[in-house]
Amino acid sequence: MTFAFTQTLFPLKRLQSPFLLISSLKSRAKFTQIVAALKYPSSSYSKSSSSEMVKAIVVREIGGPEVMKWEDVELIEPKEGEIRVKNTAIGVNFIDVYFRKGGYKFPLPFVPGREAVGVVSAVGPGVTGRKVGDVVAYAGDPMGSYTEEQILPDKVVVPVPPSIDHKVVASVMLKGMTVHVLLRRCFKVEQGHTILVHAAAGGVGSLLCQWANALGATVIGTVSSEEKAAQAAEDGCHHPIIYTKEDFVERVNEITSGKGVNVVYDSVGKDTFKGSLQCLALRGYLVSFGQSSGTPDPFPISDLASKALFLTRPSLMHYTATQDELLAAAGDVFANLESGVLRVRVNHTYPLSEAARAHADLEARKTSGSIVLIPDN
């Protein structure tokens, strides 16, 4: 029997993702909501009395940052169970690049982005417990946060504590809830565990190191340079491994005296998958939550038998499927931000209208830490 990594979310080519967000089959249905909320202008366009124009980034063709256009879009009134949110800060994630480039398929045209914080500007029928002026945030579905205002299902937003800066919230919602799922749901890390984090200086990796260290785990992390090793150490990684200079499997074996680690958090995929399995202790867990180097090759499922290993390929959406789960995940992230366990580096902010420049800088590795877009108005 052979176990192959496949994606059945949309018609996809080879997928790559730096972190957990893998959209569910609901995404096509969600797209219908987006199109209903954001209607793109055309020569036959006429504005209705129940709508207004706002600015947004629109992608009409697959390609480089240059395909991201600053356009007027029509924003209609919220319908049953919906709210309208005026965005104050919008998170930029590498998955936005993959959608723009076609790595993840999505019907054109679309407004990119899956993470934002803002102020409720209108409430649709049937919405209770929410009012104009409330500060809320969301991460995940639906796509469409690169806009001044957007329509959202009320059930996908969470209230934001007043003590946390909007830019911080926009930069951490998606990554933070991902880390909550990895450390508290997929495998519950506790004091005395030893874990391996690939890409330990990345957006998710740095939060993994901080949170796991606070839980009392021994953290081993792989990075590509001395500079990133120093950052990972600052974030709580006890044993940074520069994989460009050392074999990470050998180093993990040395660090653990041959025992291996209890869990590996692998967002790299193809290049690290086999080595990750080799690093595991008896009954260890491999949590594969991304594939920035490509999809792992098929492998015999019998390879897990030698140490009774566990393998999981989680999706954030599957762990925040109910509102209670969503609120618990977001609440855990906010609590750790307020207590200082999680520290977020918002090193770059760009006007929303210059989102294309933000993407270009991100792809050119000119950025570090988090990137946030600020609406121009």
Burial class (CB in 10 A: 0-12, 13-18, 19+), 244: exposed
The reported pLDDT for the residue numbered 290 is 85
In this structure, what token pair is assigned to residue 112? 């990119």
Dist. CA 257–CA 237, nearest whole Å: 18
pLDDT along the chain (377 residues), means of 10: 34 36 40 45 36 94 97 95 98 90 92 97 96 96 96 96 96 95 97 97 93 98 94 97 97 98 95 96 96 88 96 93 95 97 93 97 81 93
Assess whether the region 27-172+346-374 and the region 191-313 belong to the same CATH fold. no
CATH fold of the domain at 27-172+346-374: Quinone Oxidoreductase; Chain A, domain 1 (3.90.180)
Dist. CA 330–CA 180, nearest whole Å: 8
Burial class (CB in 10 A: 0-12, 13-18, 19+), 126: exposed
The reported pLDDT for the residue numbered 50 is 63
Phi, psi of 314 (to 5 degrees): -80, 160
Q: Is the dihedral of CA 283, 284, 290, 293 positive or negative?
A: negative
The class of domain 191-313 in CATH terms is alpha beta
The reported pLDDT for the residue numbered 187 is 98
Complete DSSP assignment for 41-82? P-TT----TTEEEEEEEEE-SSSSGGGEEEEEEEEEPP-TTE
Instruction: For residue 265, give the DSSP letter.
Output: E
For residues 368 and 230, is the Cβ–Cβ distance under 8 A?
Answer: no
In this structure, what token pair is assigned to residue 98? 């993959």
Please list, in sequence order, all residues whose beta carbon lies within 8 angstroms of the beta carbon of residue 352, skipping any fewer than 6 positions away.
Answer: 55, 57, 87, 90, 146, 147, 148, 373, 374, 375, 376
Q: Map out the domains of the chain as residue ranges.
A: 27-172+346-374, 191-313
